[in-house]
Structures are given as C-alpha cells and as structure tokens.
Structure 1
Amino acid sequence: MYANFIRDNAVADPEVIFPAVSLVTSGGHTELYLMKNPQTLTWLGGTLDDAAGEAFDKTARLLGFGGGGGGAIQAAAQRTGTRNIPKRAVLPRPLLRDDSLNFSFSGLKTAVMKNWGKTRHTEKNAEALAYEIQEAITDVLCTKTIRAALRYGAGSILVSGGVAANSRLRDKFTKACRGHFRLHVPPVRYCTDNAVTIAACAYFRNHPQPWKSVVARPDLSVEIAD
C-alpha cells in the first residue's frame, strides 16, 4: 500500500525532477525510496522498529494526550517554544549520525518514558516534552532524507504519508531544500487519503487486464522495475 503514497506526490505536481528521493512516513511505515521515474522504485532504507507516526502515537498517549497522536503532539508543541525547554527534556536523535539510511524510534519512546517518569506531570512539562518529541522525530526524518538525496544526486524530494501533515516537518524540509532540491509535499488533506494515492498509482500504471489474469503474489516487493 505505501507504494501508492509515493506516487501521490508525482501526480500532484508533474514537475518532479528525476532521480528523486521519496520519504514515506506514517503510523505504519518510515521508508526511503529512490525514484528513477514514476514506475521505478529502489528501497534505500527504513525503520528498524517503530515507525515515526507510531512514535508520535505512543508518546502522545504516554503524556496523557489520548489518541490524538501526531496532531496532539503538534498542538502541544505549538503552545510552548524553544525558550521553555529545560535541559532535562532534551531527547536523543536516534541514528542521526549513523551513515545508513535506516531509522529507529523505539529508543526515543523509551527516553520519553524515562524522562516523564522523573518529571512532575504538569501541563507545562508535558508541552515541553511534546515540543522536543516533535523536534527529535522531524530532525531525523529531514536529515536522513537530505542525506539520501545528496548521496544519490536527486533533483527532487517527495514527502508523503500521514506524518507529512506535520507542519514542523514541512517547515524543516522547505528550509533544507531551498536552493538545492525541488520539494513536493501533498496538501495536508491528501496525506492520509488512501483513495487518492491508489488513483495516483493507477495513473502511472494504467495497464487494464481481465481480473481472471491477475495472479496473487504475497511476496510482492514495493520495488517496481520498468
């Protein structure tokens, strides 16, 4: 299914410069792909444990924000600011300095749990941690994607999936790509719209065939060759 998210960007703006690097980030996936063209994908790296959206969801519940997930973390983070972040709230950026293009967010969740366990459970402290959670996750996503784009000589960067709705992530990519890469991020309303992404996939792979000729492949890879 997440192959469809990648194609959403290419349809939304046809002026993608190839090769392009695509970040697919949601509650179930955090993956990087190299797109040589809209039909050809190569997997570059992904999460070794939790997805970015999953980290948002779990830490939001831990801080008492309920099931609001990334939206709740973003809202809480916007109510505070960098000047209000105590040193004890600073969180690790998992695998940020690792040369691979993989991600890991389970350790971040553990760090939040330990930090919250040693902190007074006040609204102000919860908001400070929410701010730092958002900074940590978006720092890693943006840095790793830019690293991949530089490594593979990409002309464009595509960001999609539910986490792409995060305003802080969008801001960081906008600044990091300016003057270097063409950035493509779908409108927020499309970030979690599976129907749009499926239609986008069909747009590029329009090869109608009788349903009886379709062969199920449970081992099918997201990597698609010409």
Structure 2
Amino acid sequence: MRVLGIETSCDETGVAIYDTERGLLADALYSQVAMHAEYGGVVPELASRDHTRRLLPLIQQVLDDAGMSRHELDAIAYTAGPGLVGALMVGASTAHGMARALDLPVLGVHHMEGHLMAPMLEDSAPDFPFVALLVSGGHTQLVEVQGLGRYRLLGESVDDAAGEAFDKAAKMLGLAYPGGPQVAALAETGDPTRFRFPRPMTDRPGLDFSFSGLKTHTLTTLRQLEQANQLDEQARADVARAFEEAVVDTLVIKCRRALDDTGLKRLVMAGGVSANARLRERLALEAEKRGARVFYPRGRFCTDNGAMIALAGALRLLAGERDEVGLMKAVPRWPMERLEAPASP
C-alpha cells in the first residue's frame, strides 16, 4: 500500500509517500521558521496561508521523487489534530479533495501518534511495548505504548511544554525563534558550574512535568545580572547552559522513573526537542545503566514531517480504518489517550 502523508498542523508543510512493502519512497518539507521568526513565534493566519501556497507543489515534488503518478497512490493520510485549526484545514481539505478525485481511501491521523511512530522509519526500529517521551513545542508527555492505539498516559506537563519553555528562554536571552537550537548552541560555551537552576517537580513522586517556574527563575537570574551590570555574553551563555541542564535533567529523571515504574527496557523519544544532543547523550547513559535502549528518529524526522503521518496512517489503513470522504476532521485539541486500537491487527 502506497500512502501519501500530509502534515500541516503548525509551521511546517510536510509531504511524504510511504510504501508498506518498500518503506519510505520520498519526503519533502518546507519550514516556515524564517517567516515566523520576525514575529518571535507562529502567527496562525500566516501559517495557514503559507500551507496553501506550498502544499500542492510539495505533493507533486514527492510524486516526482518517487517516480510515481498520483494515480498510483493507494490511500491518503493527513494530520487531523491537534494543531492550529486553520492550518489543519488546509491539509484536511487537500487530502479529502484528492481522495474524492482519485477515488482513494482517506484517514485523519493524530499528530502525536505520528511522532510516536517516527522511530519506526529507521532500520533499527523499536518493538512494542515501550515507554515514549514526546517532547516538543506543544507537548511534553510520557506514554506507555503497548501497541498501535494502546496508550497509557504516565505523565505530562501541567503548564509549559519543554519546547515552549526553550522558546521563551531564548526570547529572554535575546535569541531568535525557534528557541531550542539557539539556546543549545549558546549553552555550548556556557560554564555548567556557575548557576544551578531548579529541576521542577523532581523532589516529589509522579511523572508530571512543570517548566513555568524554571522560566521564571531564568528571567529573575537575567534581571539580577543586568542590575549588577554583569549581563555580558559569557553570562548569557552560562544562563543558557544552566537552563538547558535543568530541562535535560528533569526529562531524564522522569524517564528513569517511567522505565523503573513500568519495568520496560525500551524508551522512544520523539518531537522537536528530541533532537537536543545533550538530552540524547544523557538518556543513552541512563538507559544503559538499566539495560535499556533508547530509540529516536533521525534529525529531520524529529520535527513535524509528512513521513511520520504517512507511516502512522498506513498502519491504521492496513488495519481497515477509513474516514468518510468529504467528512473532514480538524481537531485543535485532541488528547492522545482518546485514541483506540484498530479493530483488526
């Protein structure tokens, strides 16, 4: 089955073709980062308009790259949520329009389920069951995954997601959007011993996260340095390092607890923040201590992309799931625990 995957949930237009026998045939991604950087964050109306401009040319590009015509497709999958409703509607309307024109089955896919399945695009893919850390600009969750659609939420952020906290810290430090890569780059020259920031909610049981207090601590530290006339480039790097270390430590501590609580030996990490090199290094060390293993997708599949949607859609389409053509889904808020396993394996 050759599935066209469409991702338009936020600020990246992703398209891919996944073949259930041959694997990923082609993928293309257009990032809107440069456009939104001027505003310091995503502007929903601009995002929707740009998806409209980019989507059809990207679909043609992946068809050409795969050496296929649209008539050789077997199904279409698209991100139905969560995300920005206007952006979601661009992908949904395109998918349903193509499905109607080509007489193909179509399926709306949960964005975070796509991230969950992204490591399975790699040659060394994890088997079920596993613990998943979903960590991005909009979500920070720990999930026990027994199979496709069989998810148990272990913990989540009660306020800011980790990626959102990185973006806000970057803004405080005068760095460009998106914040994660910028903070990580600045932190490379920071002194890890100068500041120690709090590790939120690690001094109590449980697997929930909170990054709002860490954000406030960062702002307070920067203001104190500024008032003391000590906020030079090295101080900014030291603050960035302390912030990154605190976020990474918090995520690692919670992942360690999740592995211990579930007794599982596989940890999947996905979402934009999973590209952070320090986080990958620390989680690999923790997993090794427990005889466990960490899986994550290659860098370009950590952020939003069409390949993960094509794969997640293909798995459910193979199990017989279909949406009614013309009945578009665009669900801005869609808790993943509401998903169900396919009726047939």
> Does TM, normalized by the shorter one, top 0.5?
yes
Alignment correspondent of 2:144: 34
Residue in structure 2 matching 1:58, options 155, 168, 180 = 168
1:72-101 CA-to-partner distances (Å, cap 9, x unmatched) read 11111112343xx32xx2110001122111
Alignment correspondent of 1:157: 267
1:96 and 2:202 equivalent? yes
Give runs of aligned pairs for residues 180-195 of structure 1, distance below 5 A. Answer: 180-195=291-306
Q: Quick one: distance in 2 between partners of 1:188 and 1:27?
A: 16
Q: Quick one: distance in 1 between partners of 2:323 and 2:198?
A: 52
Greater per-residue strand proportion: 2
1:115-152 CA-to-partner distances (Å, cap 9, x unmatched) read 11111221000000000111000111111012111101
1:125 and 2:240 equivalent? no
Q: Quick one: distance in 2 between partners of 1:14 and 1:22?
A: 16
Alignment correspondent of 2:314: 203
Q: Quick one: distance in 1 between partners of 2:250 and 2:233?
A: 26
Q: Quick one: distance in 2 between partners of 1:220 and 1:63?
A: 33
Which residue identity lines up with residue 199 of structure 2 in the other structure? Answer: R
Cα 1:222–1:214 shift into 2, 3 Å? farther
Which residue identity lines up with residue 207 of structure 2 in the other structure? Answer: L
Which residue identity lines up with residue 225 of structure 1 in the other structure? Answer: E
Cα 1:137–1:177 shift into 2, 3 Å? same
Cα 1:203–1:98 shift into 2, 3 Å? farther
* Unaligned stretches of 5+ residues in structure 2: 1-110
With normalisation by structure 1, the TM-score equals 0.90
Contact 1:18–1:154 (8 Å) recurs in 2: no
Q: Report SS of the residue matched to 2:263.
A: coil
Comparing 152-161 with 201-210, greater Cα deviation is found at 201-210
Which residue identity lines up with residue 46 of structure 1 in the other structure? Answer: E
Shift of 1:220: 5.3
Contact 1:16–1:182 (8 Å) recurs in 2: no
Q: Quick one: distance in 1 between partners of 2:259 and 2:296?
A: 15
Contact 1:156–1:183 (8 Å) recurs in 2: yes
1:134-186 CA-to-partner distances (Å, cap 9, x unmatched) read 10001111110121111011121000000001100011111111152121011
Cα 1:37–1:14 shift into 2, 3 Å? farther
Based on CA coordinates, which of the two structures has the bigger radius of gyration?
Answer: 2
Q: Report SS of the residue matched to 1:66.
A: coil
Q: Quick one: distance in 2 between partners of 1:102 and 1:66?
A: 29
Which residue identity lines up with residue 200 of structure 1 in the other structure? Answer: L
Which residue identity lines up with residue 120 of structure 2 in the other structure? Answer: A
Cα 1:74–1:215 shift into 2, 3 Å? closer
Shift of 1:208: 5.0
Shift of 1:2: 1.5
Q: Quick one: distance in 2 between partners of 1:49 and 1:210?
A: 33
Higher relative contact order (CA 8 A, sep 6+): 1
Contact 2:121–2:297 (8 Å) recurs in 1: no
Contact 1:39–1:204 (8 Å) recurs in 2: no
Residue in structure 2 matching 1:49, options 154, 159, 169 = 159
Cα 1:203–1:154 shift into 2, 3 Å? farther
Q: Quick one: distance in 2 between partners of 1:153 and 1:214?
A: 41
* Unaligned stretches of 5+ residues in structure 1: none
Which residue identity lines up with residue 286 of structure 2 in the other structure? Answer: A
Shift of 1:209: 3.0
Q: Quick one: distance in 2 between partners of 1:40 and 1:11?
A: 20
With normalisation by structure 2, the TM-score equals 0.60
1:5-62 CA-to-partner distances (Å, cap 9, x unmatched) read 1111234356424321001000100011100123311111100000000110001110
Which residue identity lines up with residue 23 of structure 1 in the other structure? Answer: L
Which residue identity lines up with residue 246 of structure 2 in the other structure? Answer: A
